[in-house]
């Protein structure tokens, strides 16, 4: 500790090296672990397979509650997830399948409750939607009900994943 | 900015002496590998601590995927090792790190023994160190069961059989560790609890005591 | 006791200081090159740590940690093995004077004595001398235990059948086996099923799935056996059934 002026820079140098080596060790240890932990964020979302749900002949202009099962892989756990769709024919004849998950807080809505005829009604906070799933202004839901990917093949309706409607 | 924040805290809590005491204490030449290469034997203690830090961190991250349940334990380990990015490395850090910890703690114990550093006035710290050694062995034994693979199950069966043949209290120890009359669902749950909560808590407490005692008594002098 | 002026107390308390504490050596006045813990000495420690970490990470990347097949308590033939640092204890229990009637010696007395001796070592070896060479009894005893631990570990690892336990612990892929097929009916009506398992997954005998066993080999082994474990003439039936069985096993054993 004799050479004061020299000592200051030397000490600084030591401190920088120390920080560098310490940072290297921390990064070496934590980098694999953090990547390991954030893996779910970086996994590609798989689009679900289309599943046959109902035959076209059964459909009317009144929404019908249909359940169908989708194979789901959750890490090491594989199971069949039960999903619900309200399927009906629109005025122009197009088929529409709505997800009954309320866009407010995720409860399940019901069609045509005695108290709310010709509407979807959510029992949790009283959210309401029109027949085509448009949220009625003044009720809690911020967006229309999600719509399932849909295709018709050989007279059967196949459904995929539900998506929010663009621009609504 | 940082200096201001530091000064603000220092004004209120006077934290400078706490860390300055640690930072500025003089380290003698005989433990410094830069002056005597043979002094690397004094690094084993620090490296043991380093491996323990690795064990704690990697263990924390592993529990993000691991499930301590006989139906899912193996599947979750298989999944995290083979399907999750860097899973092999993180599990490897915990698996190989466990062996390394044992090696390092063993070498550290031998160093302290052969340099006679456990003699007066450091007897108490030696006892704490030996207890730490036993706790680390206990962590090794309980951790071995958790992947719930063949060797885990059968080695634990043998281990508990050994515990059971202790006279008088053997069966009592066996049932207490096993949680049931077979090595099964309840054993796994228990071993998980012991491995993840009880032993690490004891480990951290004793480690703190170990370090405080070193600081209080200083490093033993040269031979 | 010192009273009155100049009396010192412990901290803020009213307890007078007794001053029996053995103070640590003050190395700043010690001959030799001492240096401050931070940053000088810590930097050296961390450099050692960084080298250690690199080696460690290389190990974890290059060597996947082992995972055997999922635990199956019904596979009683499995030879258990503890982790390497318990091998010496495991080996100790194999010797006649530490097992059977004497197992108390192997399980309680020897390890217990070793543990207690280690715990109270500072009181067993009380002399002021610190050099290992100048306290031959302590050093000798420690070296003796060290050598016996190394020897026992080594003995245990050479006497263990590593190839067999690897075989027993292997992860066997689940194969869909058509249990209504002609071949499976023959397989399960013969003694094969008892040793090789209901799903050919192996039990007392080795697994048959995932092994690529050609039909001819099945025909040969089913008749001649593999000494010492598999008896000859395990198969009893017509040649036609044997052919069907062999074809069936060839098919399901494909990787």
H/E stretch holding A85? strand A77-89
CA pair distance A148, A18, nearest whole angstrom: 57
CA atoms B71, B66, B81, C63: torsion sign: negative
pLDDT at A7: 58
| Joined tokens for residue B76 | 């979750």
Chains in touch with C (3+ beta-carbon pairs under 8 Å) read A, B
pLDDT at C222: 83
Q: Tell me the average pLDDT across C228-235.
A: 79
Hey, what long-range contacts does A103-109 have (CB within 8 A, 24 or more apart)? Answer: A103/A127, A103/A135, A103/A141, A103/A142, A103/A143, A103/A144, A103/A145, A103/A146, A103/A164, A104/A140, A104/A141, A104/A142, A105/A140, A108/A84, A109/A145
Contact indicator for B188, B175 with CB cutoff of 8 Å = no
Q: Which residue in B162, B188, B216 has the most chain C C-beta atoms within 10 A of its own C-beta, making it the best mutation to test that interface?
A: B162
Q: By the CB < 8 Å criterion, does A77 face chain B?
A: yes
CA pair distance C71, C82, nearest whole angstrom: 15
Residue with tokens 């940082």: B2
CA pair distance B30, B18, nearest whole angstrom: 26
A10 to chain B, closest Cα gap in Å: 16
Q: Provide the pLDDT confidence category of residue A1 given band limits of 50, 70 and 90.
A: very low
- Greater confidence (A30 vs C2) lies with A30
Contact indicator for A147, A129 with CB cutoff of 8 Å = no
Beta strands B26-27 and A156-163: pairing type? Answer: unpaired
pLDDT per position as a tens digit, A135-162: 999 899 999 999 999 889 888 999 988 8
Characterize C21-42 residue by residue with b for buried, 16 or more Cβ atoms within 10 angstroms of its Cβ, and e for exposed: eeebbebeeeeeebbbbbbbbb
| Joined tokens for residue B80 | 């995290």
| Joined tokens for residue C254 | 């494909």
Q: Considering CB atoms only, which of B117, B121, B140 is closest to C22?
A: B121
A18 contacts in chain C (CB < 8 Å): 38-39, 42-43, 46
Mean pLDDT of chain A: 88
- Greater confidence (A3 vs C150) lies with C150
B120 to chain C, closest Cα gap in Å: 7
pLDDT at A168: 43
Contact residues for C15 (Cβ-Cβ < 8 A; gap 6+): C9
C57 to chain B, closest Cα gap in Å: 8
pLDDT per position as a tens digit, A41-70: 998 877 778 888 888 888 888 999 999 998
pLDDT per position as a tens digit, C149-206: 999 999 999 999 888 888 888 887 666 677 778 888 888 888 888 888 777 777 777 7
Angle at the Cα of B113 from the Cα atoms of B107 and B119, rounded to 5 degrees: 145
Side-chain half-sphere CA neighbours of B58 within 13 A: 26
Contact B158 C56 (CB under 8 A): no
H/E stretch holding A81? strand A77-89
B89 contacts in chain A (CB < 8 Å): 32, 36
- Greater confidence (C209 vs A87) lies with A87
At C158, is the secondary structure helix, strand, or coil? Answer: helix
Contact A35 B85 (CB under 8 A): yes
Sheet holding A128-129, edge to edge: A110-113, A116-121, A128-129
DSSP A34-61: HHHHTHHHHSPPPPPPPEEEEEGGG--S
Residue in chain B closest to C167 (alpha carbons) equals B150
| Nearest residue to B133 (alpha-carbon basis) of C170, A17, C121, A96 | C121
CA pair distance C234, C221, nearest whole angstrom: 9
Q: Considering CB atoms only, which of C36, C103, C128 is closest to B165?
A: C103
Checking if the pLDDT of C228 tops 80, the result is no
Chains in touch with B (3+ beta-carbon pairs under 8 Å) read A, C
The Cα diameter of chain A in Å comes to 97
Strand partners, A156: A55, A153
Q: By the CB < 8 Å criterion, does A1 face chain B?
A: no
Domains annotated on chain B, with CATH: 35-217 (1.20.810.10)
Query: Can you count the helices (H) and strands (E) in chain B?
Result: 10, 1
Domain positions in chain C? 34-60, 84-160, 182-253
| Nearest residue to A128 (alpha-carbon basis) of B87, B97, A116, B54 | A116
pLDDT at C28: 75
- The alpha-helical segments, DSSP class H, found in A38-135 are 39-42
Checking if the pLDDT of A4 tops 60, the result is no
Strand partners, A128: A121
CA atoms C242, C247, C248, C252: torsion sign: positive
Checking if the pLDDT of C84 tops 90, the result is yes
Q: Provide the pLDDT confidence category of residue A5 given band limits of 50, 70 and 90.
A: low
CA C33 vs CA A104, B113, B115, B124, C52: distances in Å: 71, 25, 20, 29, 26
| β strands within chain C, DSSP E | 35-36
Angle at the Cα of B173 from the Cα atoms of C142 and C165, rounded to 5 degrees: 70
Contact A11 C39 (CB under 8 A): yes
Q: Considering CB atoms only, which of A11, A21, A29 is closest to C46?
A: A21
B47 to chain A, closest Cα gap in Å: 13
pLDDT at C211: 76
DSSP state of C181: S
CA pair distance C194, C180, nearest whole angstrom: 18
Q: Tell me the average pLDDT across C209-235.
A: 81
- Greater confidence (C250 vs B151) lies with B151
Residue B116 Ramachandran class (φ > 0 left, ψ -120 to 50 alpha, else beta): left
Name the percent of chain A lying above pLDDT 90: 48
pLDDT per position as a tens digit, C18-73: 778 888 888 877 777 888 898 889 999 999 999 999 999 999 999 999 999 999 88
Q: How many CB atoms lie within 10 A of CB B164?
A: 17
The structural architecture, per CATH, of the domain C182-253 is: Orthogonal Bundle (1.10)
C211 to chain A, closest Cα gap in Å: 26
End-to-end CA distance of chain C: 88
C29 contacts in chain A (CB < 8 Å): none
Contact residues for C225 (Cβ-Cβ < 8 A; gap 6+): C231, C232, C233, C234
Contact indicator for B61, B90 with CB cutoff of 8 Å = yes
pLDDT in tens, chain B (223 residues): 899 999 999 999 999 998 998 888 889 999 999 899 999 999 999 999 999 999 999 999 999 999 999 999 999 999 999 999 999 999 999 999 999 999 999 999 999 999 999 999 999 999 999 999 999 999 999 999 999 999 999 999 999 999 998 889 999 999 999 999 999 999 999 999 999 999 999 999 999 999 999 999 999 888 8
Strand partners, A120: A111, A129
Q: What percent of chain A is helix, strand and coil (3-state, nearest 5)?
A: 25, 40, 40
Contact residues for C179 (Cβ-Cβ < 8 A; gap 6+): C188
Q: Provide the pLDDT confidence category of residue C2 given band limits of 50, 70 and 90.
A: low
pLDDT at A148: 92
Q: Provide the pLDDT confidence category of residue A6 given band limits of 50, 70 and 90.
A: low
């Amino acid at each position: 500790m004799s050479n004061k002026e020299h000592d200051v820079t030397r000490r600084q140098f030591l401190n920088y090296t120390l920080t560098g080596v310490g940072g290297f060790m921390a990064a070496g240890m934590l980098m694999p672990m953090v990547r390991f932990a954030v893996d779910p964020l970086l996994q590609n979302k798989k689009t679900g397979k289309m599943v046959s749900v109902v035959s076209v002949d059964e459909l009317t202009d009144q929404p019908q509650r249909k359940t169908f099962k989708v194979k789901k892989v959750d890490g090491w756990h594989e199971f069949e997830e039960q999903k619900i769709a309200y399927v009906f024919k629109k005025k122009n004849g197009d088929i529409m399948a709505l997800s009954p998950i309320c866009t407010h807080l995720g409860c399940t809505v019901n069609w045509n409750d005695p108290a709310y005829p010709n509407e979807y009604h959510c029992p949790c906070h009283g959210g309401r939607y029109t027949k085509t799933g448009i949220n009625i202004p003044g009720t809690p839901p911020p967006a229309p009900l999600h719509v399932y990917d849909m295709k018709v093949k050989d007279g059967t309706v196949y459904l995929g994943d539900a998506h929010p409607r663009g621009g609504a | 900015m940082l200096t201001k924040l530091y000064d603000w805290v220092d004004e209120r809590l006077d934290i400078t002496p706490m860390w300055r005491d640690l930072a500025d204490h003089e380290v003698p030449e005989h433990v410094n590998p830069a002056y005597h290469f043979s002094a690397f034997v004094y690094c084993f203690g620090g490296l043991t601590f380093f491996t323990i830090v690795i064990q704690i961190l990697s263990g924390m991250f592993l529990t993000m995927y691991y499930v301590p349940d006989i139906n899912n334990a193996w599947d979750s380990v298989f999944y995290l090792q083979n399907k999750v990015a860097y899973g092999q490395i993180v599990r490897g850090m915990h698996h190989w790190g466990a062996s390394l910890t044992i090696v390092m703690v063993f070498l550290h114990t031998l160093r302290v023994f052969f340099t006679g550093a456990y003699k007066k006035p450091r007897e108490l710290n030696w006892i704490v160190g030996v207890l730490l050694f036993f706790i680390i062995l206990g962590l090794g034994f309980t951790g071995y069961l958790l992947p719930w693979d063949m060797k885990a199950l059968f080695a634990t069966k043998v281990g508990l059989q050994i515990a059971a043949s202790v006279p008088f209290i053997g069966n009592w120890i066996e049932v207490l560790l096993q949680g049931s009359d077979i090595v099964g669902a309840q054993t796994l749950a228990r071993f998980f609890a012991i491995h993840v909560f009880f032993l690490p808590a004891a480990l951290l407490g004793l480690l703190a005591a170990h370090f405080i005692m070193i600081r209080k008594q200083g490093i033993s002098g040269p031979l | 006791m010192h009273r009155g002026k100049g009396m010192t107390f412990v901290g803020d308390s009213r307890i007078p200081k007794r001053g029996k504490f053995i103070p640590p050596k003050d190395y700043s006045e010690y001959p030799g090159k001492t240096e401050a813990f931070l940053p000088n000495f810590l930097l050296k420690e961390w450099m050692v740590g960084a080298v250690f970490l690199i080696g460690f990470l290389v190990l974890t990347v290059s060597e996947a940690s082992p995972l055997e097949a999922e635990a199956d308590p019904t596979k009683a033939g499995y030879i258990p093995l503890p982790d390497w640092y318990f091998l010496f204890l495991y080996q100790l229990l194999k010797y006649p004077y530490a097992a059977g009637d004497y197992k108390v010696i192997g399980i309680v007395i020897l390890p217990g004595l070793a543990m207690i001796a280690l715990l109270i070592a500072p009181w067993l070896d009380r002399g002021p001398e610190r050099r290992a060479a100048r306290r031959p009894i302590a050093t000798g005893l420690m070296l003796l235990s060290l050598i016996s631990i190394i020897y026992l570990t080594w003995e245990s690892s050479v006497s263990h059948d590593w190839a067999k336990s690897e075989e027993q612990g292997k992860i066997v892929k689940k194969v869909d086996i058509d249990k209504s097929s002609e071949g499976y009916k023959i397989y399960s009506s013969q003694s094969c099923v008892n040793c090789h398992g209901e799903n050919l997954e192996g039990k007392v005998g080795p697994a048959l799935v995932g092994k690529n066993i050609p039909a001819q080999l099945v025909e040969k082994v089913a008749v001649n056996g593999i000494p010492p474990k598999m008896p000859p003439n395990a198969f009893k039936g017509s040649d036609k059934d044997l052919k069907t069985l062999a074809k069936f096993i060839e098919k399901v054993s494909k990787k």
